[in-house]
Amino acid sequence: GMSEDKARAALASFRATLPRQRLERLISVLCDKMLIPGFWNSVQLREQPVLHELEPGNGSRIVSGAVDLLLKDDAGLWRLYDYKSGGAAAHEASVRQVQCYAHMVRRHLDGELVEGWLVDLEGGAVVAVDISPETSEKTWKSLAKQWV
């Protein structure tokens, strides 16, 4: 949770386009210090770019993305967070996106990636996503077939 002044500044460019009630709800969620447990005392990687070949090793197309937040705790364990607004947090495509990010980033971390989360910035909900290596790889392969 950030200060109210910082939250208002972060959302200033949306002031003219968002209804006031929605803007105030976003500010409230951004100020919630318990929205992402451990945020204030963990190693943080924000907007972390990730690249991955669709079919590693054969010069195939590269998929890119940006993980909103990776947190590393004192035990060396990593957690992945993806921020969403509106109804996007409840959409299955958002779950698949987190799983793909987990697949793409896992091999680059210096510790185990143990949790994935979707953060609904408007509703304040934080929803766990199954990012086990098996599930992440299965999702990746399923989507990669469509992209090739």
Residue 132 neighbours by CB distance under 10 Å: 13
Mean per-residue pLDDT, 112-134: 92
* Residue 139 binned pLDDT confidence (cut-offs 50, 70, 90): very high
Provide the mean pLDDT of the chain: 87
Query: Of 83, 117, 121, 120, whose CA–CA distance to 102 is shortest?
Result: 117
Query: Under a CB-based contact definition with an 8 Å cutoff, are residues 127 and 89 in contact?
Result: yes
What's the pLDDT at 118? 94
Q: Average of pLDDT values for 80-92?
A: 87
What's the half-sphere exposure (Cβ side, CA atoms, 13 Å) at 64?
Answer: 3
User: Worst-scoring range by mean pLDDT, 17-31, 102-116, 124-138?
Assistant: 17-31
* Bridge partners for 64 per DSSP: 51
Which residues touch 42 (CB under 8 Å, ≥6 apart)?
71, 72, 73, 74
Place of tokens 């992209």: 147
Cβ partners under 8 Å of residue 79, min gap 6: 38, 70, 71, 73, 113, 114, 115, 116, 117
pLDDT-derived band at 143, boundaries 50, 70, 90: confident
Q: Which two tokens stand for residue 35?
A: 């929205």
Residue 77 has pLDDT above 80, yes or no: yes
Confidence of residue 48 (pLDDT cuts 50, 70, 90): confident
Q: How confident is the model at residue 40 (pLDDT cuts 50, 70, 90)?
A: low
